[in-house]
């Protein structure tokens, strides 16, 4: 077992992300119509694991070998959560998953109406790029590309389309491709952006890539497993919903045990990849384990 104090690390990092999200959305919000800003911040500041920004910061810190990172890394961390938040708002819409609750609160469209929820999502998506591009450092262009590739038609949105397709084959290759795009691509982008923003070299970038790909998949498998084994209180939403909706999940396709084993193999792959980047039992290894060992 790890001797790294993940709980305390996560508490510190999540607080840091919360504080960054509050201040960046306030700075950006000066000339934003009040109701739009309110709707954006309702979902942006609703808590959550903040996994993507935490991974981005962790890779930035690993490259710099210190917890102090540049404003560029911080902007990327926030932008990743803007993108994740917009995707949740749009996924919850009546035309998509039609969810009423998210993180124990009414979903954005339940509070602000569908039109505003669509627009708040569009604004968060667009403003994410304003954040990443919001400075003169030459690296910001490359970071915008990473974010766009991870979240656009060849990334997150593409995966969402594979998920809503009516003729989805219940096969492991389709399921894996779907999740590689739907959640994996943005998690991978988070890791890569942390390295790039901190000025890491090609070797560090390749390691972040392997780690992000593996953790992204492990995280999704764990999500599916939690939907079978978790309880509603820690999840903040109804459990068993995926299975009830007839959605195809890793446990449904592979069985529960084999799903857990696949997730464990991915975690081991991720940890091996980042070993040269941090001291033994550092935050990256701990975060990889956390991606499957969490309870929500």
Positions in the binding site for a copy of itself (CB under 8 A): 28-29, 31-33, 35-37, 40, 86, 90, 93-96, 113-116, 118-119, 121-123, 125-127, 129-130, 132-134, 136-145, 147-149, 151-154, 157-158, 160-162, 164-165
Task: Say if CB 44 and CB 25 are below 8 A apart.
Answer: yes
Q: How far is CA 232 from the centre of its chain?
A: 21
Please, which residue, 68 or 138, has the CB nearer to a copy of itself? 138
Q: How far is the CB of 147 from a copy of itself (least distance, A)?
A: 7
144 vs 285, which CB is nearer to a copy of itself? 144
C-beta of 137 vs 281, nearer to a copy of itself: 137
Residue 53: closest CA among 179, 186, 155, 178: 186
Beta bridge partners of 101: 106
d(CA 216, CA 104): 24
Q: Quick one: tokens of 152?
A: 């656009």
Closest separation in Å from C-beta 126 to a copy of itself: 4
Alpha-carbon distance of 281 to 279, in angstroms, equals: 6
Name which of 246, 213, 210, 214 is nearest 227 in CA terms.
246
Residue 52 or 90 with smaller CB distance to a copy of itself: 90
Q: What are the C-alpha distances in Å from 82 to residues 7, 43, 268, 274?
A: 24, 9, 29, 26
Going by C-alpha positions, the residue among 148, 144, 23 that lies closest to residue 72 is: 144
Nearer to a copy of itself, 154 or 244 (CB): 154
The CB-of-158 to a copy of itself minimum distance in angstroms stands at 5
Element (H, E) at 106: strand 105-106
Please state the closest distance from residue 114 (CB atom) to a copy of itself, in A. Answer: 4
Dihedral class, residue 58 (left if φ above 0, else alpha if ψ from -120 to 50, else beta) = alpha
Name the minimum Å distance from CB 73 to a copy of itself: 15
Nearer of residues 130 and 264 to a copy of itself, judged by Cβ: 130
Q: Minimum distance from CB of 35 to a copy of itself (Å)?
A: 7
Rank residues 71 and 145 by Cβ distance to a copy of itself and give the closer one.
145
- Nearest approach, Cβ of residue 7 and a copy of itself (Å): 35
- Nearer Cβ to a copy of itself, position 159 or 194? 159
Minimum distance between the CB of residue 166 and a copy of itself, rounded to whole angstroms? 10
The 3 state secondary structure assigned to 163-228 is HHCCCCCCCHHHHHHHHHHHHHHHHHHHHHHHHHHCCCCHHHHHHHHHHHHHHHHHHHHHHHHHHH
């Amino acid at each position: 077992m790890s001797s790294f104090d993940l709980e305390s690390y996560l508490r510190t990092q999540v607080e840091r992300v919360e504080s960054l999200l509050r201040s960046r959305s306030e700075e950006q919000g000066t000339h934003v119509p009040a109701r739009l800003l309110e709707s954006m911040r309702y979902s942006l500041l609703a808590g959550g694991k903040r996994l993507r920004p935490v991974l981005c910061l962790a890779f930035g810190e690993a490259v710099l070998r210190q917890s102090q990172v540049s404003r560029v890394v911080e902007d990327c961390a926030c932008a990743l959560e803007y993108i994740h938040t917009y995707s949740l708002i749009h996924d919850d819409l009546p035309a998509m998953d039609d969810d009423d609750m998210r993180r124990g609160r009414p979903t954005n469209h339940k509070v602000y109406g569908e039109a505003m929820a669509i627009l708040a999502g569009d604004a968060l998506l667009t403003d994410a790029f304003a954040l990443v591009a919001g400075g003169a450092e030459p690296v910001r262009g490359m970071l915008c590309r990473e974010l766009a590739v991870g979240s656009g038609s060849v990334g997150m949105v593409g995966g969402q389309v594979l998920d809503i397709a009516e003729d989805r084959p219940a096969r492991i290759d389709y399921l894996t491709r779907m999740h590689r795009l739907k959640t994996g691509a943005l998690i991978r982008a988070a890791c890569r952006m942390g390295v790039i923003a901190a000025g890491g070299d090609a070797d560090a970038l390749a390691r972040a890539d392997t780690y992000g790909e593996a953790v992204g998949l492990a995280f999704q498998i764990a999500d599916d497993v939690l939907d079978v084994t978790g309880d509603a209180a820690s999840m903040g939403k109804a459990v068993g919903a995926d299975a009830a909706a007839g959605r195809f999940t890793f446990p449904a396709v592979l069985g529960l045990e084999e799903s857990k084993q696949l997730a464990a193999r991915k975690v081991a792959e991720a940890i091996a990849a980042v070993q040269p980047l941090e001291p033994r039992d550092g935050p990256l290894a701990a975060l990889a384990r956390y991606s499957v060992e969490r309870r929500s």
